[in-house]
Amino acid sequence: MVMKKALVVSMVATALGTSVVSAISAAPAVKPVSNAAQIQHSTFTINGSTITIRSVVKNGETLVSLRDVTKAIGAQTEVHNGTTTIKLNDHTVQLEQNSKQFVVDGTTTNLTQPVALIGGTSYVALRPLIAGVGGTLVKRAGVLEISTIPLLAEAESPRFAGTDKLIVSKNDDKGRSDYLVNATNGKYELLFTTDGGSDLVISPNGDRAVYTNAEGAVYTIDLNTQNSKLITSDNSIKSDLVWAADGSAIYFLQGEKGSVIAKLNLADGAITKLVEDKVDYKENLNVSADGKKFVYTVTSLSKVTSDSTNVDEDNVSIDFSSDQQQIYSHNIGYSKPEAVKLTTTTDDKLFVWSADGQKAYYVSVPSTDGKATLMSVDSSQKVSFVYADYDVEQAILSNGKLVVLAAQDDNNSVIYSIDTITGNQTKLFTVSSNVSSIAVVGSQIAVVENGQVLVSSGQGWRAVTK
């Protein structure tokens, strides 16, 4: 009889394809615990990564596995005489089983329900624990985002350095500080400080940046090693630095009035003047991939007029009608190169972009009340509407796509992607009207909202500064 029973057990185990011991010890995905609570596997975004944490719901409140959470946030944990001590970011949290209190940095914090021991694991309320170690919790697109990495405050002017980093800036009475910020979790490090130097302009592949110091000398900085290299100590004024497509040179406007378009060879520091046509006040320099075609704006200044027979101050007037900004193109590949005036209208022209040196895109701001629109103008001076649905606030040209930030109404703005070949428009996001600017690399977008930098994450946003 005993032999028959053993044979039956052996046959069942064989049919299941596993041993009797493993079949008995296999844990179900959800197991019942005391007070009818069930252990669940909840998904959170923790410091930019998707993490699964064991959790239970007790008395309407979600408690999470202390072991899982402290491991995910990288906290140090010690247990001594029944007291668990958690340390992170110069904060200390102490707790005990069945206690309805935390001690955070020496101050007692009350909980709605006690720390619970369930299945041999401590479960605690998530929010007070994260707050205790200096972290934040935000729910975006239905997912709770937890950040315990200290974020940089009051940063501005984000621009991508590759897909995984941002450069942001902070200004004070001592000058400007630039920081490298991890685009996934917000971890940051000081990159560069300057008093009177230019902005950092990032290379096409995102591994370097170029800048001028207050004296006009040009440096490159390796964004991986953070080492700077002097390229030239030439002290002429240089503005609108633009990288060559292959990263071998820098184009810039030279002189106090930006009259000259010049090229700086990064290998030997040699400077070559490419355009010297005596046309002053060039700005918004764009360079084609072959380095022969340029698009830029020229601003003509107001004229001072007076009665030729009486130059008393009361008879002096200023003619503002000539105060205009127009877009020009210049092709040095022609046998007789010369500047070509592409526009003649009196509107303000902002965010001027060109990829080929032939066609330019710009935001047209009317001189009278009315919404700003995104326009294009080609080498034949043909001006066309690109986007005019809402009031355009910013436009960026990136990898053949125009990314547009536009004010939809008093509460909302929209971000659109427009294909420059087909003209097809795709709405990417509806965002708060408090979004003041955007930055783009590939399909990734960063926005500045109320002074905070957020990076796109699926259909939501992840804060990388505070």
Q: Which two tokens stand for residue 197?
A: 């130097």
CA distance 10 to 7: 5
Q: Which amino acid is at 9?
A: V
CA distance 242 to 238: 11
Can you give the pTM of this predicted structure? Answer: 0.81
Q: Is 140 exposed, middle or buried (0-12, 13-18, 19+ CB in 10 A)?
A: middle
- pLDDT tens-digit series, residues 280-298: 999 999 999 999 999 999 9
Asked whether 410 and 378 are in contact (CB, 8 A), the reply is no
Residue 9 pLDDT: 34
Residue 323 pLDDT: 67
Residue 21 pLDDT: 30
Q: Which two tokens stand for residue 98?
A: 């069945």
Contact partners, residue 272, CB within 8 Å, separation at least 6 = 262, 263, 265
- pLDDT tens-digit series, residues 48-104: 889 999 999 988 888 999 999 999 999 999 999 999 999 999 999 999 999 999 999
- pLDDT tens-digit series, residues 397-422: 999 999 999 999 999 999 999 999 99
Residue spans per domain, the chain: 34-146
Is the alpha carbon torsion for 300, 301, 302, 305 positive or negative?
negative
- Sheet containing strand 401-407, edge to edge, reads 391-398, 401-407, 412-419, 425-432
Neighbours of 138 (CB within 10 A): 14
Residue 353 pLDDT: 98
CA 54 to chain centre: 32
Residue 3 pLDDT: 39
Binned average pLDDT, 10 residues per bin, the chain of 466 residues: 38 33 34 60 91 92 94 95 95 96 95 93 94 88 86 94 95 94 94 95 96 97 96 97 98 96 98 93 97 96 58 52 84 91 95 97 92 97 97 97 98 98 96 97 95 89 89
Residue 462 pLDDT: 85
CA distance 450 to 36: 44
Strand ranges (DSSP E) for 311-407?
Answer: 317-319, 324-331, 339-341, 348-353, 360-365, 373-377, 383-387, 391-398, 401-407
- CA angle 386/389/391 to nearest 5° reads 95
May I ask the CATH class of domain 34-146? alpha beta
Residue 15 pLDDT: 34
Give the number of C-alpha atoms closer than 13 A to the C-alpha of residue 127, restricted to the C-beta side. Answer: 10
Helix (H) or strand (E) holding 22: helix 20-25
Residue 321 pLDDT: 54
The number of helices, as runs of H, and strands, as runs of E, in the chain is 4, 42
Residue 305 pLDDT: 59
Token pair 């005489």: residue: 81
